[in-house]
Amino acid sequence: MGRGLLVLVSAICVLAFILVLFSDFLPLPFGGYADQRFFLVAATGLLAVVPGIFFVLKPAVAPVRSLVLLPTLLLCSAFIGLAVPFGERAYVWVEPGMYSFYFLAAIASGSALAWTGVGAVFVRFLILSIAATCLIYGLASVNVYLFAIFDGVTKLIDFIPWGFVNIRYWSHIATWCLPLMPLAVLVGPLKDVRSWRIGVLLGAGMWWWILFLTTGRGSALGIAFGVMLAVLLFGRRAFPWLKFFVTYLAVGILIWLLLSVLIPTMLSDGGIHVRTVHAGDSGRLPLFIEAWQMSFQNFPFGMGPQSWLTHERLTAAYSAAGKLGHPHNMYLMWAAEYGWALIAALGLVVLQAIRYFWKTRAVMLAESAPSAYDEKLMMLAAFTASLSAALFHAGVSAVFMAPGSMLVGLFVLIGFWALIIPAGAEPSPSVEMPQQPFFFRLPALVLSAILLIGWVVWSQDVWGYYQDMREDEELYYKDVGEGMLPRFWFHGNFPR
């Protein structure tokens, strides 16, 4: 069962990365953003239901282990329960369903992989997938760069990054992936292959170049925070990972100087266009204040799912600003729409993760000599940096709203939980395991059935929302004439 779950999660992982990074090359029926959202619906539904079946079929798993999922189930129930008072609104269940299945899929799948002893195997596979797909994307970006530069283009940001409807959606992916790429040359079967190490170096350098090109402050600050936290928590044990991280950063700076400064300067008579980093808030502060005020209108239960799109504006600053699909802060958005009760439930899951992380870290540090190289310790340090960077970035951007970011983050979360949950061992086929009484496994069976039914109902609501959104697009473009307001769909305004 563990190997079957490993194959399932790994296959979905590869498909997700291909869909996120290379949607421009795929014959997609709905357009990249919508296809990624539909894939997220399918993936999270499958990965939330299958671990429940795992509990039913896996007699070696003690029933007490399922208690690990109680804080997660409480969080999922909070998303749904806090939406109930607003049930008469249109499409009210679309986003609560998404978040419920998302967090359950990540934590349940990660826990199940750990309990069957294949968590580290999946983490190594995930690292290889990230490094390989990012390398291909980086090399393809060079091709795009060459076409642009020989056509006399000086504003490269119009062409790179490619494949994303918004440059910030690419920076979300960079936040998740850049702290993990050094692991590709530290763990796994290819770590000592010279050509692979050179390829990872080039791929990571290209991603750093694109990050400098886009001046993604949220991503850069998030990664800096995550790396500093990892070094603080692991000290000298994290230095092998940190050495490659700094090396890739330095290569990225060199590539940026070459491709974004030197070559355009030599080929262009009119100068070059380089995005500058500024210290302003990019108009986010009025959004934060508006969401903060919303969170106290119906304290502590919030104003309802998607109320950010429909509520009467509360502050003069936001009234004067252009309308946006979200407040560029996931925590304030959740507090505004679901209330501080939801934030409290989320806090329990975070505290649980910290508890398991701290225990796992202590065991790893105790079992390895201070001067020894420990692969699992390196993996835990890097995943800590990645997740911390994404959580920081979510405070200034829609990291847990954009479907591409959510898909990549889903598997990083699965990997993180697979590392911090105490691992079990896959029993030998020759060893007869004691069967648990059926009533111990009945709750998992009932929960799986409820989740399956809930997923079917939720999927139908998502499809209905999509159809109405497409019908609304024509009116929106013709009569409203505003820019895109991406949220659940790329056209994120509530259908009229």
Q: Which of the residues in the chain have pLDDT under 70?
A: 1, 52, 54-66, 268-282, 371-372, 424-441, 444, 480-484, 493-496
- How many C-beta atoms lie closer than 10 Å to residue 357's C-beta? 19
H helices of 215-339, where? 217-234, 239-256, 263-267, 284-294, 307-310, 316-320, 330-338
- How many C-beta atoms lie closer than 10 Å to residue 352's C-beta? 17
Residue 60 domain flag: yes
pLDDT 10s digits, 482-492:
666 789 998 87
Q: At what angle do helices 340-367 and 330-338 cross, to 10 degrees?
A: 140
pLDDT at position 149, please?
85
Residue 30 domain flag: yes
pLDDT at position 134, please?
97
DSSP code of 258? I
Say if residues 98 and 41 touch (Cβ distance below 8 Å): yes
Backbone angles phi, psi at 295, to 5 degrees: -65, -15
Residue 308 domain flag: no
Residue 310 domain flag: no
Query: What token pair was written down for 404?
Result: 């591409």
Closest by CA to 416, choosing from 127, 43, 79, is: 127
**Distance between CA atoms of residues 334 and 280, nearest Å:** 24
Distance, C-alpha 2 to centroid of its chain? 24
Residue 41 domain flag: yes
Residue 373 domain flag: yes
Closest by CA to 296, choosing from 345, 335, 331, 333, is: 335
Q: How many domains does the chain have?
A: 1
pLDDT at position 432, please?
45
Q: How far is CA 297 from CA 88, 217, 336, 475, in A?
A: 19, 32, 8, 32
pLDDT at position 282, please?
67
Residue 415 domain flag: yes
Residue 113 domain flag: yes
Closest by CA to 421, choosing from 66, 43, 5, is: 66
- How many C-beta atoms lie closer than 10 Å to residue 492's C-beta? 19
Nearest-10 Cα torsion for 277, 280, 285, 287: -50
**Distance between CA atoms of residues 95 and 97, nearest Å:** 5
Q: At what angle do helices 375-393 and 239-256 cross, to 10 degrees?
A: 50
H helices of 313-402, where? 316-320, 330-338, 340-367, 375-393
**Distance between CA atoms of residues 408 and 17, nearest Å:** 7
DSSP secondary structure of 209-247: HHHHHHT-HHHHHHHHHHHHHHHHHHGGGGHHHHHHHHH
Which three-class secondary structure state does DSSP give residue 30?
Answer: coil
pLDDT 10s digits, 211-242:
999 888 999 999 999 999 999 999 999 999 99
Distance, C-alpha 493 to centroid of its chain? 23
Q: At what angle do helices 119-150 and 403-420 cross, to 10 degrees?
A: 150
pLDDT at position 37, please?
97
What does the chain come to in residues? 496
Q: What residues make up the domain containing 130?
A: 2-278+328-480
Closest by CA to 59, choosing from 488, 431, 468, is: 431
Burial of 176 (0-12, 13-18, 19+ CB in 10 A): buried
**Distance between CA atoms of residues 378 and 182, nearest Å:** 10
The one-letter amino acid code at 109 reads S
Q: What residues have CB less than 8 Å from 44, skipping those under 6 apart?
A: 98, 101, 102, 104, 105, 410
pLDDT at position 424, please?
57
**Distance between CA atoms of residues 445 and 454, nearest Å:** 14
- How many C-beta atoms lie closer than 10 Å to residue 434's C-beta? 6
pLDDT at position 21, please?
96
pLDDT at position 425, please?
44
Side-chain half-sphere CA neighbours of 229 within 13 A: 19
**Distance between CA atoms of residues 49 and 445, nearest Å:** 10
pLDDT at position 117, please?
87
